[in-house]
Amino acid sequence: MTMTPKPTSAVLFDTEFTAWAGSMDRRWAGPGEHKEVVQIGAVLVDADTFVERSSFQVLIRPVLNPVLSDYLIDLTRITNERLIREGVDFATGVTRFFDFAGNAGLHCYGRDDRIIAGNAVLLGQAHVWPDRVAFNLKDWLLDVGVPLAGVHSGALAKHVGSVSQGVAHDALVDARSLAEAVRYLVAKGAPNPFR
């Protein structure tokens, strides 16, 4: 009998994407509204100790809405100038993310994997995000009894009783908040979601 090796690490990631005042309520159904990824942030953690081994972030220049709304700038603190200076194209950003993640399991709060996959299709680059599925940690959080209504990933660590990881709506801060929430809850007796 062959034993499947247990993962030694996990990648927790988050995205920020184009938005406008009211776009969430409209489910991005307004004229020209698309959830174009502008930032991916991630942490690689030890699957047993939850210690952060490395971190990653990349800014991605949107194509269909290349100028960020004032709403998104206020929310994320990502300016158009910074996006022009530091941003890369979608395929480069996702490739860098995959290079960072390697073969580690992907975990997110919600379905950020589907947002990235949807961008790949939207931009005619479906090959950029292959059939790689992330584990939705919202399911695990609900299973261990965490109420999640109205809680975004950047506030999650504080929401479960741990320490805030920084100002929310920065993809790297939000990924760290998710990782800290998992670490804290497992230390309190919740089952390890990476095992």
Residue that has been written with the tokens 């927790």 in this structure = 12
Residue that has been written with the tokens 């992907």 in this structure = 106
All domains of the chain in start order, with CATH: 9-135 (3.30.420.10)
Whether the CB-CB separation of 178 and 109 falls below 8 Å is answered with yes
pLDDT at 6 over 90: no
Q: Alpha-carbon distance 120 to 127, whole Å?
A: 7
DSSP letter, residue 128: G
pLDDT tens-digit series, residues 145-169: 999 999 999 999 999 999 999 999 9
Tally of CB atoms within 10 A around 188: 11
Tokens of 83: 């996006």
Instruction: Name the pLDDT band for 3 (thresholds 50, 70, 90).
Output: low
Residue that has been written with the tokens 């996006």 in this structure = 83
Q: Report the percentage of the chain scoring pLDDT > 70.
A: 97
How far from chain centre, in Å, is Cα 60? 14
Q: What is the pLDDT of residue 33?
A: 93
Residue that has been written with the tokens 């991605």 in this structure = 60
Residue that has been written with the tokens 């920065």 in this structure = 170
Amino acid at 13: F
Answer positive or negative: Cα dihedral of 104, 105, 109, 112: positive
